[in-house]
Structure 1
Amino acid sequence: MLTIPGRDLASARTARHYVRDTCRSWSLPGGTTDDLVAVAGELAANALEHTDSRTVTVTCALTADTATVGVTDDGRSAGTPVMSASTGGTEVECEGGRGLLITDALATRWGTWRSDGGLSVWAEVAIEATS
């Protein structure tokens, strides 16, 4: 588990490094690692940008077939994440709001849960087979 400072988008980089190091310690394949790192960066950036959380916590979990990353804010968010923050407009106009779209594309499944401790967004990635 890693706790990063909130309200600072640079903390997303720290989250990505933490997830990459964790995946390497688990000897996960490169593709799985890359997907988890990308998802972690997107989830952390969402929490950092769209909440007033003082801290954000990043967790990783491993099973035989999947690896999961979770990002939890401290409950100061405006609401539950939505799939797309933008509707309509050109690709350039819709530059923001892609974090959960990227997560949806890379993850086997993902979801949210709210508790007294904040909002958690998690994503599970299947571990790719190695030859």
Structure 2
Amino acid sequence: MSDANGHSVMNEHHSSRGRILVAEDDDAMRTLVAEVLRAEDYDVIEAADGRELFWHVERALADGGLDLVISDVRMPVYTGLDVVEAWTGFRGPRILLMTAFADPELRQRVTDLGIVLLDKPFPLGTLLDLVNETVTERGHQ
């Protein structure tokens, strides 16, 4: 569902497993990740670019309704890393970044932020293990 500006609107249903924002500009990849997470009973919000990612994160920081962000690093408008660095210092959702183009500088920036970087392509089981671990850790804080 989208609002008047074309942003994906958060579903009011809250799954017992957690709420996850998936930001990925590749439609097929975003849909695949979102559907796999929905099959595991997560409530999933989708963002197609950095602008939508930023919008959803800002909204989540205001209401605390987001457990995890899974974002591609390279996206139009803002990169996933741009958004993460913009909210550093705020208590926001956990972050998992994914990329097919990791260079040593990117790896260092991500490591310095304490964020997991997942290299594409990756097994869906690896993604689910990281998601389950991260959401469970957040629930115990």
Given the two structures, how large is their TM-score scaled by the length of structure 1?
A: 0.31
**Structure with the higher fraction of residues in helix conformation:** 2
Given the two structures, how large is their TM-score scaled by the length of structure 2?
A: 0.30
Q: Which structure would you say has the larger RCO, counting Cα contacts within 8 Å and 6 or more residues apart?
A: 1
**Structure with the higher fraction of residues in strand conformation:** 1
